[in-house]
Amino acid sequence: MEGTPGETSEVPALVRFLDEATEALAAAREEIDALNVYPVPDGDTGTNLYLTLSAARDAVRALPGADPDARHEVAAPPPLAEVWAVMARGALLGARGNSGVILSQMLGAVAATVAAATSSPAGRRPGAVLADAMAGAVDASYAAVGEPVEGTILTVARAAADAAAETAPTAGVRRVVTAAAAAAREALRHTPEQLAVLAEAGVVDAGGRGLVVVLDAAEHVLTGRRPVTAPATLATHRIPVVGHVTAPAPAGGAARPAPPAYEVVYLLRAPDDAVPALRRRLSGLGDSLVVVGGDGLWKVHVHVDDAGAAVEAGLAAGTPSEIAITALPATAEAERVGRRVVAVAAGEGLERLFAEAGAVVVPGGPGRRPSAGMLLEAMGAGDVAEVVVLPNDADTVATAELAAGTLRQRGDVQVVVVPTRSQVQGLAALAVHEPARTLAADVLEMTATARHVRQGAVTVAARRGMTMAGPCEPGDALGVIAGDFAVVGPDVGTVAREVAERLLAGGGDLVTLVAGQEDDGTTAALASYLEEQHPAVDVVVYDGGQDRYPVLLSVE
């Protein structure tokens, strides 16, 4: 990334940075969530940053010519300024939480600086352009926050921008980024000296840690070096506080005021000149106010007791959409505690398996898929604060999302749908469920486990047809791998062995077999075959009782 800012050769490097930064945030988000004690201890800063940057990456990869992994791509790479602009808009539309909104504002300011440099007739050193972009990002972020607080992501960003500005006059992009990343790491280390709540908890700022992860990813993409970062456990972030703490605890041991009850986030289409009045109105309603955007499109984030008033303020300024209202922990936990897992099961045996693992079970499967109302009833029963939903069927994922969105509107329950598309994915996800973890950490582990399961099944053709594996006749056995018909054979046992061998071709330590209603001993025979042919692989057999599929398979 040492060429002029407008060169299309920079586009692949920018996409690599987005990929690496997103993956790095995915790996670090459990740690970052655990650090999250300011402004409220809701344990989702890492997840919000990850989702925000993921939205930016996905928007860029959707551009013709921008995805380096598109093997048949014929379009030329788009101009760098266009890619930056699309990335910034994607981040704005996908921004989650306080830190995510601030990150989207930073990306927007960088995009504006790159666009200005590209259109300028006089060429400038790329390092200087980048330093100006970082400075603009910091200025825009401070301006967007209702009451900026030091010891947060803003402080870390400013330290990085200052280091970039000092380095830029005599250096290229690589050295500028390296200096900025090093300064960010050092500033992060000192955040407990600036914010009392961090010092009391013995942690660094969560948003600042997320920004360090992003800058470290940029340094690695440009230099090939992986910076030495802080350890990833909460205890190792405990730092002795020396010097002045700018936000002391209330004198005399008085309790802090209760935090606001709700987080309100929405997109707003409004003229730019309506935003100052909106900021003033929202700042009188609550705290953690961030309003970012421009050119008629804004992202609003605020913590308030009166969520309706925050939405009404948006209506007075323009047209709000994608409104999300979430109960903050101090309110939600006072009335609702605990976490429920809701699982859709496609057979009596599977219902028992999910229930024994602690899930609330909703009957489902081909021919009897649950309605949104049935799922909503299972999600909303009782007084839990958090709900995780396992649809366990590709056609039920959208229904689960619809039910979850309806429940979220109540504002006092957090609901996450893990998009499991098969029964075996759901079993694997539930096996790693751990209620003691934060919701974000638990969902991350369940999602990652389900995603890494290689899944298959065997069914029987009911009529003549054409499949991905060739033509089939009624009564033929059909092997399914990852949702597609991959094998056609004369009998279930033969096809089941072929499916198992293909799933194991990529390696694996554990094979799970689930016998269906129509199993005639095929599953037991398959288990014996695998134990003989693959003695190093563990085989587990369950009686699922599912219809239409004599055997379900998974490899982990």
Q: What is the pLDDT of residues 507-524, one digit of tens each?
A: 888 999 999 988 889 999
Do residues 427 and 353 make contact, with C-beta atoms less than 8 angstroms apart? yes
pLDDT band at 78 (very low <50, low <70, confident <90, very high): confident
What confidence score (pLDDT) does residue 231 get?
Answer: 41
The mean pLDDT value for 263-267 works out to: 88
Residue from 507, 506, 528, 516 nearest 553 by CA: 516
What confidence score (pLDDT) does residue 75 get?
Answer: 58
**CA-to-CA distance for 169 and 184, rounded, in angstroms?**
19
By mean pLDDT, which of 92-106, 122-136, 252-266, 310-324 is the weakest? 252-266
The mean pLDDT value for 447-467 works out to: 89
Question: What's 282-313 look like in SS3?
Answer: HHCCEEEEEEEEECCEEEEEEEECCHHHHHHH
What confidence score (pLDDT) does residue 243 get?
Answer: 32
What confidence score (pLDDT) does residue 71 get?
Answer: 47
**CA-to-CA distance for 172 and 168, rounded, in angstroms?**
7
Do residues 151 and 172 make contact, with C-beta atoms less than 8 angstroms apart? no
Alpha helices in 168-318 (DSSP H): 173-189, 196-201, 206-223, 275-283, 307-317
More confident residue, 83 or 227: 83
Whole-number CA gyration radius for the chain: 26
Helix (H) or strand (E) run with residue 389 in it: strand 386-390
Please name the amino acid found at residue 38.
Y
The mean pLDDT value for 232-244 works out to: 33
By mean pLDDT, which of 8-22, 418-432, 438-452, 518-532 is the weakest? 8-22
The mean pLDDT value for 406-414 works out to: 76
What confidence score (pLDDT) does residue 229 get?
Answer: 56
C-alpha dihedral, 423 to 425 to 426 to 431, nearest 10°: 130
What confidence score (pLDDT) does residue 497 get?
Answer: 95
Name beta bridge partners: 339. Answer: 386
Q: What percent of the chain has pLDDT over 70?
A: 86
pTM: 0.51
CA quadruple 211, 215, 221, 224: dihedral sign: negative
By mean pLDDT, which of 148-157, 241-250, 252-261 is the weakest? 241-250
**CA-to-CA distance for 25 and 90, rounded, in angstroms?**
17
What confidence score (pLDDT) does residue 181 get?
Answer: 93
Instruction: Kindly report each contact of residues 9-13 with a partner whose C-beta sits within 8 Å and lies 24 or more positions away, as own/partner.
Output: 9/77, 10/80, 11/65, 11/66, 11/77, 11/78, 11/80, 11/83, 12/68, 12/77, 13/221, 13/222
pLDDT band at 478 (very low <50, low <70, confident <90, very high): very high
**CA-to-CA distance for 527 and 519, rounded, in angstroms?**
13
What confidence score (pLDDT) does residue 292 get?
Answer: 79
List the domains of the chain with CATH numbers. Answer: 10-241 (1.25.40.340), 262-327 (3.30.70), 336-452 (3.40.50.510), 454-555 (3.30.1180.10)
| For residue 126, cis peptide bond before it (omega within 30 degrees of 0) | no
